[in-house]
Structure formats: structure tokens, C-alpha cells
Copies of this chain bind each other. A is one copy, B any other.
């Protein structure tokens, strides 16, 4: 009759496979094809270079505000590489590396960041969602997609990305509960990059881990070293297996770090110490993977150098293409497109009136 302990369904574990010197725990390392692993590395590096270039372009006023993925490449590419292309990818706004893995063209990202909706164009057969900016608001979409896939007896599952800050939003909470009660085959991937703009992780929530928030929904949840591409891959692979087996959602907290600005409109010197950034630079996910690959003789400094040159050229070309396309995208009437499948009469009238106005001005 007195106070008794209630046994919970789940506990929280922490997973790490690759250490900062490039050494791995061989018992835990997931099987990844050598080519695939090199592709993972290439994508992570491309993302890093693209981020750097975009920062430059933004500072020159050539493109607008964007949110760099720098430092989070392992969390993103590691996760997507563990999934199928038919699986549904539901990003927030910082998933450049994940988007690149999915085959989204750098030129499209550049165009999008230059302020053109055309950059968000998605091929008809793709299962990628466009960027979602309102924090956490994309999470329920992934649950719906996953449920729908299950309803259609497809093998597809869904993954959604969000940040540490997003775990404070109601959308996060409601979506996790839905996923749990409906056993939706979805993976919730929280990139805990330690900051939500100026709010440090420690003040976003009092809970020791963000993973433990999953306990409230009886969702299996774990923390992984998010700068360790193997740990992320392994965790997502396991979650995907569970989802495909009909065992419902998983929550994964990737411990990572936002190595750059929040967005290009942000000035982190107002709120964080450079020392902290330096500390995390030692845990840089790309360097760690490179150490591993070099030890395994799958990569060398020379090869990396050559690869970086190639990526820079790829980005040069992409920006040239983008630049050209921008020159062509002069028609403001595009803003009337795609509001509805069929524009209603009043909207057509507005378009025509504006067209007329432009003609008269022109």
C-alpha cells in the first residue's frame, strides 16, 4: 500500500562507436559498403564546402539568409545513408548535408537561398519534403506519411529531423504521442546541436537528455554521438528495422554541435564563447571519419585534397548555373503559380491586372 516504484517500459542509452582518434568499436560498427562509405564522406565534405561557399556568397550579398549545417554532417548523412531512397525524408531548415545525400542539386539549394522558390522544386517521384521553417511543425507530417505508407502496405518509412529547440514545441509532443499510439513507422531524429539561436541546450530543458522525452510516450529512445557517423548509421538502421517490422517509432537524439552561425543573420559572439567552438572542432565529424578512413587506407591526404578541388569545381559550376538561371527568372508573375491546382477567378483577375500594370509601366 505505501509508495512503490513504477517500472517503466524503456530506459535511455548512449551509443558511440567511432572515437575522436578515428578508432572504432569493432563489435558495434555497422556493415557499410566501402563505396557507400566513401560516398558518405564525399557528401559530408560537399556539404561543408557548400556551406562555406554559401556563407561567402551571403556576405557578398549574392544570396540571402540560410542556416549552415556545418558540424552536423555525420548526423545527417549517417542517418540518410541507413535508409532507402523510397523512405520519406522530412527535413527542417538545416539539413543541407542530408539533402545532398538525397540527390538534391547544389544549384537548387543555391537558387533557393537566393530567394527563388524554384530552388525548392522536387522531382515527381521523389520522397523528399521541402524545407520547413516553423520549428517542429514538420514533425507531425512525418507521422502522417509513415502512417499512410503503412496503410498502403508499403515498406516505406519516414524520418524527420529537428533540433534541440524543437523539442520544446507542442508540435513535437503531439506528434510523438500520435506516432506512438498509432504505431507509425517513423524515426524522430533530434539533432541536438547545443543551441537554439542564442539559447543553450541546458536552458532549453532541465532534463539530462532529450532522448528521455521519448519515455513519456513509451517510445524507444536513445542518445548517440552525433558526430560519429557510424553510431548515427547504426542507430537509424536499428530504428528502421523496428519501423519496418511494425514496431513503431524510435526517437534518436544525436549529440552534435552547430559549428557555425545559427543563420547568416545571427551573431553568435553575442552569446557564446569561441572556446566552446574550439572544443567541438576537435570532435569534427568529418575529421573523425577521415582519420578512420585513412587508417583503413581508404583515403589519403592527397585523395582528400583532390576531392576537395573537385567539390569546389562542382560548386563553381553550380553557382554559375544558378547565376544564369537567376538571370532568366525575371518574371514576377510566377508568384501567382501553384497557390491552387486551378487558380480561382479572382486570383486570375489579380494576375491579369498585375500583368497589365507591368505592361503599362514597362
Contact = CB atoms under 8 A, between A and B. Distances in A.
A171 B172 CA distance: 11
A168 B203 CA distance: 24
A177 B204 CA distance: 8
Interface in A197-227: 203-209, 211-219, 222-223
B218 A216 contact: no
A9 B205 CA distance: 13
Q: Copy number in this complex? A: 2
A11 to B, nearest CB: 6
A214 B205 CA distance: 12
Interface stretch (A12-20, A62-70, A147-155, A264-272): A12-20
A42 interface: no
A1 B16 contact: yes
A180 interface: yes
A137 to B, nearest CB: 11
A205 to B, nearest CB: 6
B6 A12 contact: yes
Nearest to A249: B206
Interface residues of A, number: 48
Interface in A1-44: 1-9, 11-17, 19, 25, 27-28
A173 interface: yes
Interface in A265-283: none
Nearest to A8: B212
A207 B216 contact: yes
A207 B218 contact: yes
Contacts of A28: 2-3
A169 interface: yes
Contacts of A16: 1-2
Nearest to A209: B6
B27 A15 contact: no
Contact of A170 (B19, B170, B219): B170
Contacts of A173: 170, 172-174
A209 B180 CA distance: 14
Contacts of A14: 3-6
A6 B223 contact: yes
A351 B3 CA distance: 59
A204 B3 CA distance: 25
B1 A212 contact: no
A250 to B, nearest CB: 13
Interface in A222-243: 222-223
Contacts of A8: 11-12, 208, 212
A333 interface: no
A19 B1 contact: yes
A306 interface: no
A358 interface: no
B181 A204 contact: yes
B217 A206 contact: yes
8 contacts: A2-B17, A3-B15, A5-B12, A170-B170, A170-B173, A207-B218, A208-B218, A212-B216
